[in-house]
Structure formats: C-alpha cells, structure tokens
Amino acid sequence: MVNQLKNIFLFSHMSEEELSHLASIVKLRSFNNGETLFYEGTPSDKLYILLDGVLKGYKTDMKENEIVLHYFYPVSLVAEMANLHHIPFPATAEFQTDGSILEVDYHTFERDFLKNPTVSFGLIKSLTQKLKYLEDIITTRLALDATSRVAKFLYENGDISDSTKRHKIATILGLTPETLSRSFKKIKILGLISDEGKNFTILNREGLKELFS
C-alpha cells in the first residue's frame, strides 16, 4: 500500500513514516462498471482518489435527465470540495468502466496532512482544475446554442472517430441525440466538416471557431 501511495502525485513527497500513517486511514475499493460511488445529497466524510477506470459525475434535473458535469480519469481527486466545506456531495458519481478508488477518512486527513505544502498545493491544483471545468460547462451550456456547442466540441476534440458514440457526445453537450444529429448536418452543409461513413473529418477549423466565438 505504501508503495502505491507514493505513486500518487499528492503524496509523492511524503516520508515513509507519513506514508504508513496515511496507509492506515486509507482503504482500497474496487467497483464494477455501472456501480455508483456516491449519490448527490449524501453526507461526505470520505475523500476519494480515483486510481483506475472512468468515473462520471452528474446531476439529475427535474425530468430525471442526467446533466453530466465531468468524466474523471485516473489519477484524480473526486469531490474534495464537499469535504472541505463539510457539505453533502453535490453530484452523483458512477463508474463507466470497472475501476478502483482509494477511500480516505477525511477528518484524519485534514488534521494530519492538509498542512503539508505539497498536499495543499495539489489540492489547489485540483480545485482550480475543477473550477475550469465548471466555467466551461457554464460557457458551453448557458452561453451557446446547440450548433455552436457542437462546433466548439469539434474544434476542441478534433476529428470524431467511429468509436465515439453520438449518444455520449450528446450527453456531454447537454443535447438530445436528435438535436446533435441536426447540428452535425448544419455544420456539414456549411462545409466545415465532411462525413465519411461514421467518421467526421474537420475541413475548416477556423470556420468552426467562428461559429462559437
């Protein structure tokens, strides 16, 4: 366990002694695809560090639609904001693949480790990264219309390959698959992308940018 901890950016500078103390308040848990790590509104006393797999963070709206906030990839801190403010988790986290997390008792962690500059610096980085994600969601979902969102997605993510399901793109952008399809069509008619079978190739990246800025 100590060796595993040492490989996590947040703890890489700790002494052997600190690491073994940390190991004592940490639990490794495995999850299957589809399992839920925590639900929105649940009180939080654990800090989670995603070690393996893909984790989807989402809220649910009034019509039971998912609002996807973020896909987490390893190694990420998850929902540290809830811990720092002692508030319930603001979103639900569900595994999209098999995976594993490190579960840390937050109370002890705060008391014994948060004063460590490396740890607090890692925390600041993680928090600012999350702020950027949320800023981006607000920009995308509140300031742009459907076609602009799709143009932004294409601009930022490059050619769309076969393997990326339209349905997944639609939920990331907060659109229905029907609307996504119609937006792709518009952008194709504008000559900004071309459509070879299932894949899209970007023909005019600057033109795409024009659509959302």
Partner DNA sequence: TTAAAAATTTGATTTATATCAATGAAGCTG
Partner DNA sequence: CAGCTTCATTGATATAAATCAAATTTTTAA
Among 34, 42, 45, 124, binds its own copies (CB under 8 A): 124
* Binding span for its own copies by CB under 8 A among 1-9, 43-51, 62-70, 161-169: 62-70
Q: Is 157 in the site for DNA (CB under 7 A)?
A: no
Q: Taking the complex as a whole, how short is the minimal distance between the CB of residue 127 and its own copies, in angstroms?
A: 4
Q: Taking CB within 5 to 8 Å according to partner kind, which of its own copies, DNA, none is near residue 86?
A: none
For residues 154 and 161, give the distance between their C-alpha atoms in angstroms, rounded to a whole number.
Answer: 11
Work out how close the CB of 6 gets to its own copies at its nearest, in angstroms, rounded to a whole number: 23
Binding residues with its own copies: total (CB under 8 A): 36
Number of other residues whose CB lies within 10 A of the CB of residue 141 = 13
Q: What are 103's strand-pairing partners?
A: 27, 48
Interacting span for its own copies (CB under 8 A) from 77-85, 96-104, 176-184, 185-193:
77-85
Torsion angle of C-alpha atoms 147, 160, 171, 47, degrees rounded to 10: -130
74, two tokens: 């390893």
In whole angstroms, what is the distance from residue 212 CA to residue 153 CA? 10
* Window 40-79: residues binding DNA (CB under 7 A): 63, 65
- Residue 12 dihedral angles phi and psi, to the nearest 5°: -65, -20
Phi and psi, residue 112, nearest 5°: -100, -20
Which tokens is 64 given? Answer: 């039971």
By CB under 8 A, name the binding residues for its own copies. 59-62, 67, 69, 81, 84-85, 87, 90-91, 115, 117, 120-121, 123-125, 127-128, 130-132, 134-135, 137-139, 141-145, 148, 174
